[in-house]
Amino acid sequence: MVNKVHNNKAWLLVLPMLVLVAFSAIIPLMTVVNYSVQDVFDANTRFFTGVEWFERTLNNAGLQAALLRQFAFSFTVLAIQVPLGIGIALLMPKRGWQASAVLILITLPLLIPWNVVGSIWQIFSRGDIGLLGVGLRELGYGYNITRDPVDAWATIILMDVWHWTPLIALLCYSGLRSIPEAYYQAARIDRASKWAVFRYIQLPKLTNVLVIGVLLRFMHSFMIYAEPFVLTGGGPGSATTFLSQSLTTMAIGQQDLGPSAAFSLIYFLIILLVCWVFYTAIMNMQKDKAERGGV
């Protein structure tokens, strides 16, 4: 039996990147941790507070409401974008110039900066000149995102679906194109229906790309700031005020460095925990399915 010699010198190639990550991420994170346990008055005056700012953040009714709105928004857009993205990917041409043209058209919303997306939809939803606002009012619906929370929520969700569904569609399209043609040939021989092909061939092969897409979309939707801030400013009232806007107001508007540092750490841990739970659940489901299939 031949003993294999493992060469670990390849780690030297990633060492510069690890150092860069440590400098650009870990050091600022430790600075935030330092501020989260202190009461800062000025550059030279600060007092240790322990976990006081964390307790105040967790007991803040306004932040609790913003957290619920954030979860509601993230899960709503995911529930819409994932099946819609899969459907778009299934309908896209497989090859030829049509496939290239559709790919370019679908990618266009992803190229628009986030604050510009908010400005586009702000104009689009105006009741005097906006196509959406004027159109709905002509149909007899009193559409107004500055007064009606339902209208504001529906517009923000529609805006996010328009902006980010192409990402899910592109990931699914790449996953579908990676499926060997032999699978489809076997399905045609067995006279499998389109639903059977999707359920037993396409959907299992899309699991990995869907995990990546959902994790990316959850993290971004949970940290969304520019689009709703430009579109509604968090209103009407606080109906569309999400966690990122509350954190910005606390850190920049009120200059509460200690509470905002504690808030940002809790924010980070929530995202990390939800992503870990989701990823673990999906991987366990995939593992159980593979084990059952191998019996």
> Has residue 260 been placed in a domain?
yes
**Residue range 204-218: average pLDDT?**
88
User: Rounded to whole angstroms, what are the CA distances from 119 to 130, 159, 233?
Assistant: 12, 11, 11
Q: Where are the alpha helices (DSSP H) in the chain?
A: 11-21, 27-36, 52-58, 61-91, 97-107, 114-124, 131-138, 149-177, 181-189, 194-197, 203-205, 207-222, 226-231, 243-248, 257-294
Task: Write b or e for each residue in 42-73: b if 16 or more Cβ atoms lie within 10 A of its Cβ, otherwise e.
Answer: eeeebeebeebbbebbeebeebeebbebbeeb
Q: Quick one: pLDDT at residue 294?
A: 46
> Has residue 31 been placed in a domain?
no
Model confidence at 277: pLDDT above 50: yes
Task: Provide the domain limits for residue 165.
Answer: 67-177+186-288
> Has residue 73 been placed in a domain?
yes
Domain count, the chain: 1
Q: Quick one: pLDDT at residue 119?
A: 92
Each residue's pLDDT tens digit, 79-112:
999 999 999 999 998 888 888 898 989 999 999 9
**Residue range 231-240: average pLDDT?**
88
> Has residue 10 been placed in a domain?
no
User: Which of 24-33, 63-72, 114-123 has the lowest average pLDDT?
Assistant: 24-33
> The whole model's pTM is what?
0.85
How do beta strands 38-42 and 45-48 pair? Answer: antiparallel
Q: Quick one: pLDDT at residue 71?
A: 92
Q: Quick one: pLDDT at residue 43?
A: 65
Q: Domain containing 111 — which CATH number? A: 1.10.3720.10
Query: Hey, what amino acid is at 20?
Result: L
* Nearest CA-CA partner of 87 in 189, 186, 194: 194
Q: What is the DSSP string of 14-54?
A: HHHHHHHHIIIIIHHHHHHHHHHTEEEEETTEEEE-TTHHH
> Has residue 172 been placed in a domain?
yes
